[in-house]
């Protein structure tokens, strides 16, 4: 337990930082008095997901911006082929991710890393596995023009949207002071505003943290205890059960090369700092039971195996089968209420609209 204790000190600091980033109103009703020692221990490291859209510093959100962002998120005409939208790989029906090791992009190209969930992504400190986008708005610009993903030419996004008559009114409503509102910056801001609504409160573990000790069953309670005792919560903590730090995959013991291919150096590619080799953003564990396959390679399909691999590679521990199954039961208590998005009616093209390639 000693090595864990020292880790937990830094966890507390990280949790505090996470608390400060959410608004006071969002947290007010979170905590009911309890004498349940497991709830009290858990509250030291985790916090319930607030209801309602995440509030992001500097991101303006109005019903008109969210409506525009929803349309853009679902609009395949943001891709070169007009067949791929954000929603294809970040599917609300599949826990905000897709059902493949890596996604299929333009001309059936395979992505290089597993699609992370969009759900609760607003609570991550940065976006992408390597954190190369500082926030959702910056992230939203990436896949649209990535030649392996939606493959839109950078200079065609705005002309394409301008060529679809109905978008002019939607952008003007969303950004009323803007003389030329159909701009990439506004595209990204609107998508981010919609994505900030994609939160999944009310998981059993949220109800537990708020004071309902029976929201976890006995197996899940043992799993939570094992999750904390073994040090999983050293990285997966705070409001998003992850997303608040980077960690080297294989910190204690390198996993096999199919899980950690030598040519993907993770965050090193961004920072060029040797200390960041094979380092990735710790993913959220919220809704993890919905988002197989796992890890940045998407090569592991079962939570049992994922937990076993993590314990060995990150903590140097060979968990007992009972601990693994208890922890998996706990992870299943992290599935919250899924967003109820009505598919938006998109503005139609006319004869002068830009047409798809390929």
The nearest distance, CB 269 to a second copy, in angstroms, is 26
Which member of 48, 88, 143, 283 binds a second copy (CB under 8 A)? 88
Binding mask of the shown chain, residues 199 to 238, with x at each position contacting a second copy by CB under 8 A: ----------------------------------------
- Assess 260 for contact with a second copy (CB under 8 A): no
Which member of 6, 10, 16, 107 binds a second copy (CB under 8 A)? 107
DSSP character string of 185-236:
HHHHHHHHHHHTT------HHHHHHTT-GGGS-HHHHHHHHHHHHTTGGGTS
- Assess 62 for contact with a second copy (CB under 8 A): no
Which member of 95, 116, 242, 266 binds a second copy (CB under 8 A)? 95
- Assess 113 for contact with a second copy (CB under 8 A): no
Q: Which stretch binds a second copy (CB under 8 A): 31-39, 82-90, 238-246, 276-284?
A: 82-90
Q: What angle, 0 to 180 degrees and rounded to 10, lies between the N-to-C axes of helices 166-174 and 184-195?
A: 70
Q: Which two tokens stand for residue 258?
A: 């199919």
Binding mask of the shown chain, residues 315 to 334, with x at each position contacting a second copy by CB under 8 A: --------------------
- Assess 120 for contact with a second copy (CB under 8 A): no
Which member of 26, 34, 76, 271 binds a second copy (CB under 8 A)? 76
The nearest distance, CB 310 to a second copy, in angstroms, is 15
**Which H or E run contains 315?**
helix 303-315
Check 44, 149, 195, 218 and give the catalytic one: 149
- How many other CB atoms sit within 10 Å of the CB of residue 158? 15
Is 317 noted as a catalytic residue in this protein? Answer: no
Which member of 47, 98, 149, 276 binds a second copy (CB under 8 A)? 98
CB 230, CB 323: distance < 8 Å: yes
The nearest distance, CB 204 to a second copy, in angstroms, is 16
The nearest distance, CB 83 to a second copy, in angstroms, is 5
- Assess 160 for contact with a second copy (CB under 8 A): no
Q: Which two tokens stand for residue 229?
A: 């005792």
Q: Which two tokens stand for residue 212?
A: 């309902």
For the four alpha carbons of 148, 149, 155 and 156, in that order, the dihedral sign comes to positive
Cα gap 304→188, rounded to integer Å: 37
Q: Which two tokens stand for residue 259?
A: 């899980």
**DSSP symbol at 119:** T
Cα gap 354→324, rounded to integer Å: 53
Which member of 50, 68, 75, 194 binds a second copy (CB under 8 A)? 75
The nearest distance, CB 319 to a second copy, in angstroms, is 16
Half-sphere exposure of 41 (CA within 13 A, CB side): 15
| Residue 84 vs 313, nearer CB to a second copy | 84
**DSSP symbol at 248:** E
For 346, phi and psi rounded to 5 degrees?
A: -90, 150
Catalytic center residues: 149
Site residues (CB under 8 A) for a second copy?
A: 71, 74-77, 81-83, 88, 91-95, 98-101, 103-104, 107-108, 289-293, 301-305, 338, 340-346, 348-353, 355-356, 358
């Amino acid at each position: 337990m000693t090595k864990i204790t020292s880790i937990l000190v830094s966890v507390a600091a990280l949790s505090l930082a996470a608390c400060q980033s959410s608004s006071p109103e969002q947290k007010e009703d979170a905590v009911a008095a309890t004498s349940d020692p497991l709830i009290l221990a858990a509250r030291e490291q985790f916090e319930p997901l607030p209801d309602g859209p995440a509030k992001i510093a500097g991101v303006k959100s109005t019903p008109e911006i969210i409506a525009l962002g929803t349309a853009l998120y679902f609009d395949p005409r943001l891709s070169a082929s007009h067949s791929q939208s954000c929603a294809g790989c970040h599917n609300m029906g599949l826990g905000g991710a897709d059902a493949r090791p890596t996604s299929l992009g333009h001309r059936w190209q395979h992505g290089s890393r597993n699609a992370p969930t969009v759900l609760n992504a607003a609570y991550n400190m940065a976006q992408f596995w390597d954190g190369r986008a500082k926030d959702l708005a910056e992230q939203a610009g990436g896949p649209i023009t990535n030649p392996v993903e939606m493959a839109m030419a950078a200079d065609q996004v705005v002309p394409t949207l301008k060529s679809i008559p109905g978008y002019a009114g939607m952008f003007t409503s969303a950004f009323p002071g803007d003389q030329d509102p159909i701009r990439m910056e506004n595209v990204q801001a609107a998508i981010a505003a919609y994505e900030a609504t994609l939160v999944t409160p009310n998981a059993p573990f949220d109800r537990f943290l708020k004071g309902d000790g029976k929201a976890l069953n006995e197996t899940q309670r043992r799993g939570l205890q094992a999750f904390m005792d073994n040090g999983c919560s050293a990285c997966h903590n705070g409001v998003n059960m992850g997303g608040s730090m980077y960690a080297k995959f294989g910190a204690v013991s390198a996993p096999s090369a199919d899980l950690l291919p030598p040519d993907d150096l993770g965050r090193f590619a961004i920072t060029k700092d040797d200390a960041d080799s094979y380092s990735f953003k710790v993913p959220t564990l919220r809704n993890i039971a919905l988002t197989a396959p796992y890890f940045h390679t998407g090569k592991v399909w079962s939570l049992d195996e994922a937990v076993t691999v993590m314990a060995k590679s990150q903590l140097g521990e060979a968990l007992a089968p009972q601990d693994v199954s208890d922890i998996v039961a706990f992870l299943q208590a992290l599935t919250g209420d899924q967003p109820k998005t009505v598919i938006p009616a998109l503005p139609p093209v006319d004869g002068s609209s830009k047409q798809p390639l390929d």
